[in-house]
């Protein structure tokens, strides 16, 4: 039987300033900052603000956050919003074989929750991410980018969500 440490690896919970190095904004109109509150682990979270007037906003996991995924089956993270706006999003994985074409990356669009006021836990089975063109699977040992892309086309004011408790697990999270 696996120990709790083998079953889960916390990537970031934003309790230290160093955790901001594990996430980057995915466009110039997005800002990120560690803030107190909206936490699901500890007392701090990452505030992700996307300005209105742009098609997409959100964040990318970066650097050390992309290491060791091949030992786990699921990526799990919590998103919280104070907004009544219903926000859809999709996820994207890219590895060393990914080039600029859409077909060589893996897009996750199905089965994701819709963001609204409150917290959602996002759980993604990453162990079997197929490329969009179906040619093969994303190699998690060479992961170079993982994106959370908020579909902000219709927002009329900045949209803020809070990211916390980003983790990898070997077992499916409880529903």
For residue range 98-130, list pLDDT tens digits in order: 998 899 999 999 999 999 999 999 999 999 899
pLDDT of residue 174: 82
Label each residue of the chain as H, E or C: CCCHHHHEEEEECCCCHHHHHHEEECCCCEEEEEEECCCCCCCEEEEEEECCCCCEEEEEECHHHHCCHHHCCEEEEEEEECCCCCECEEEEEEECCCCCCHHHCEEECCCCCCECCEEEEEEEECCCCECCCCCCECCHHHEEEEEEEEECCCCCCCEEEEEEEEEEECCCCCC
User: pLDDT tier at 41 (50, 70, 90 boundaries)?
Assistant: very high
Which whole number is the average pLDDT over 54-71? Answer: 94
> Residue ranges per domain, the chain?
4-169
Which whole number is the average pLDDT over 155-166? Answer: 95
Which whole number is the average pLDDT over 65-77? Answer: 96
Which whole number is the average pLDDT over 79-102? Answer: 94
Which whole number is the average pLDDT over 147-174? Answer: 93
Which whole number is the average pLDDT over 87-93? Answer: 96
pLDDT of residue 3: 57
Both tokens of residue 106? Answer: 């893996």
pLDDT of residue 154: 86
Residue 2 has pLDDT above 70, yes or no: no
Asked if residues 141 and 96 have their Cβ atoms less than 8 Å apart, the reply is no
Task: Count Cβ atoms below 10 Å from residue 24 Cβ, excluding itself.
Answer: 16
Domain at 4-169, CATH from 1.10.760.10, 2.60.40.10, 2.60.120.260, 3.30.460.80: 2.60.120.260
pLDDT of residue 6: 67
């Amino acid at each position: 039987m696996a120990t709790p440490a083998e079953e889960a690896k916390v990537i970031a919970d934003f309790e230290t300033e160093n955790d901001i190095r594990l996430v980057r904004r995915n466009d110039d109109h997005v800002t990120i900052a560690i803030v107190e509150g909206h936490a699901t682990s500890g007392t701090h979270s990452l505030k992700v603000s996307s300005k209105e007037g742009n098609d997409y906003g959100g964040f990318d996991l970066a650097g050390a956050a992309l290491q060791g995924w091949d030992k786990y089956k699921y990526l799990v993270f919590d998103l919280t919003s104070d907004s009544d706006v219903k926000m859809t999003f999709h996820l994207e994985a890219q590895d060393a074989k990914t080039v600029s074409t859409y077909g060589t990356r893996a897009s996750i669009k199905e089965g994701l929750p819709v963001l609204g006021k409150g917290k959602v836990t996002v759980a993604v089975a990453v162990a079997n991410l197929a490329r969009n063109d179906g040619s093969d699977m994303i190699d998690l040992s060479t992961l170079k980018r993982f994106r959370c892309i908020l579909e902000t086309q219709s927002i009329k004011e900045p949209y803020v969500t809070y990211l916390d408790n980003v983790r990898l697990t070997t077992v499916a999270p409880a529903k």
